[in-house]
């Protein structure tokens, strides 16, 4: 009887989704009062460890995604409901530890940026970001291959560190990188440019995202192993209208408002709104579907597609 009462109480305060997430149940648990909706499932069996999501800027397909480390150097195309639409192989690269992807319009073209930035043990001397022109996807299911236009090589000024989160402000000409294992997470920037000859870049440290709260004690007690990781950033994106940024952790999405004239570093140093995830298992991918909706998915299969509606 006490157990039932506890579960009912947790549901009433909106925390039952977190409990489901850390018990690794595959079903999506949607709180009827929360602004989440389940819009589809990722159909491709090859896309079995989603680590990054990006919105298409050519109209078809709807989204791009990639697998985590050790998989092929491939991007997978799918519809808004998860229907498989083919894949794009990146020639002359390998997936050492791809952790995020972003897309944007810039200089009259649609682009994709793939982040080979994972470094769990902080031991890699340099990291890479692969810039690719987004292909024109004519057929419903297509297989293509192409080489990156260029691959940025970079290091952090303080030495190696782990990250799973990148975003681009094309108007500003900046690539932003948010670290994972630093406490608090650290924000860096490198220039977005085609005037690049392969030199080793040093990322510019901009500040900390120190308003992401640490894991609450009840999670640490309930899940001593997984709980301590629950506040680490696993994905990051900037709203298309430039008015907010979203950071994903294993238990929540944090939306940081951005005032007019404010830098992204200033915005991420501000106080976010937290939206507890609806029971996703190991959520590591996030993208703004538009200025008011954020799409999130899970690294574990089955991989649901859930949308956070900021307008509600």
Cβ of 17: how many Cβ atoms within 10 Å? 24
Q: What is the residue whose two structure tokens read 């106080």?
A: 271
Q: For residue 14, how far is the Cα from the chain centroid? A: 23
How far, in Å, are 5, 28, 148, 198, 261 from residue 97 at the CA level? 44, 27, 17, 20, 35
Please report the domains of the chain, with CATH numbers, ordered by start residue.
2-309 (2.120.10)
Tokens of 285: 């991918």
For residues 94 and 92, give the distance between their C-alpha atoms in angstroms, rounded to a whole number: 7
* The pLDDT value given to residue 18: 38
Instruction: Judge whether 69 and 118 are in contact, CB under 8 Å.
Output: yes
40-44, 59-63, 140-144, 216-220: least confident range: 140-144
Q: What are the tens digits of pLDDT across the range 233-267?
A: 999 999 999 999 999 999 999 999 999 999 999 99
Does the pLDDT value for residue 65 go beyond 90? yes
Task: Pick 169 or 22 by higher pLDDT.
Answer: 169
Q: What are the tens digits of pLDDT across the range 276-285?
A: 999 888 999 9
Q: Which residues contact 4 (CB under 8 A, 6 or more apart)?
A: none
Does the pLDDT value for residue 210 go beyond 50? yes
Q: Structure pTM?
A: 0.89
The torsion angles phi and psi of 36, rounded to 5 degrees, stand at -110, 145
Q: What are the tens digits of pLDDT across the range 81-107?
A: 999 999 999 999 999 999 999 999 999
Q: How confident is the model at residue 8 (pLDDT cuts 50, 70, 90)?
A: very low
């Amino acid at each position: 009887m006490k157990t039932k009462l506890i579960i009912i109480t947790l549901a009433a305060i909106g925390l039952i989704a977190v409990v489901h997430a850390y018990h690794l149940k595959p079903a999506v648990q949607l709180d009827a009062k929360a602004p989440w909706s389940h819009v589809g499932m990722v159909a491709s069996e090859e896309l079995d460890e989603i680590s990054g999501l990006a919105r298409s800027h050519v109209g078809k397909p709807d989204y791009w995604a990639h697998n985590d480390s050790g998989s092929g150097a491939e991007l997978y195309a799918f519809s808004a409901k998860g229907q498989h639409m083919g894949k794009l192989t990146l020639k002359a690269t390998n997936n050492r530890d791809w952790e995020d992807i972003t897309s944007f319009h810039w200089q009259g073209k649609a682009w994709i940026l793939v982040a080979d930035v994972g470094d769990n043990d902080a031991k890699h001397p340099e990291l890479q970001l692969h810039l690719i022109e987004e292909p024109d996807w004519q057929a419903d299911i297509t297989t293509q291959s192409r080489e990156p236009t260029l691959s940025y090589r970079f290091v952090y000024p303080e030495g190696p560190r782990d990250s799973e989160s990148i975003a681009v402000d094309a108007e500003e000409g900046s690539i932003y990188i948010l670290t994972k294992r630093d406490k608090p997470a650290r924000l860096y920037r490198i220039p977005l440019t085609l005037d690049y000859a392969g030199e080793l870049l040093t990322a510019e440290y901009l500040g900390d995202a120190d308003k992401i709260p640490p894991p609450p004690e009840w999670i640490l007690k309930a899940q001593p192993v997984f709980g301590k990781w629950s506040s680490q950033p696993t994905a990051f994106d900037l709203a298309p209208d430039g008015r907010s940024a979203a950071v994903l952790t294993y238990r929540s999405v944090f939306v940081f408002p951005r005032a007019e004239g404010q830098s992204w570093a200033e915005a991420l140093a501000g106080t976010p709104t937290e939206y507890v995830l609806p029971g996703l298992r190991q959520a590591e991918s996030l993208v703004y579907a538009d200025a008011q909706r954020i799409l999130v998915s899970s690294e574990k299969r089955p991989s649901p597609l859930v949308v956070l509606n900021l307008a509600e």
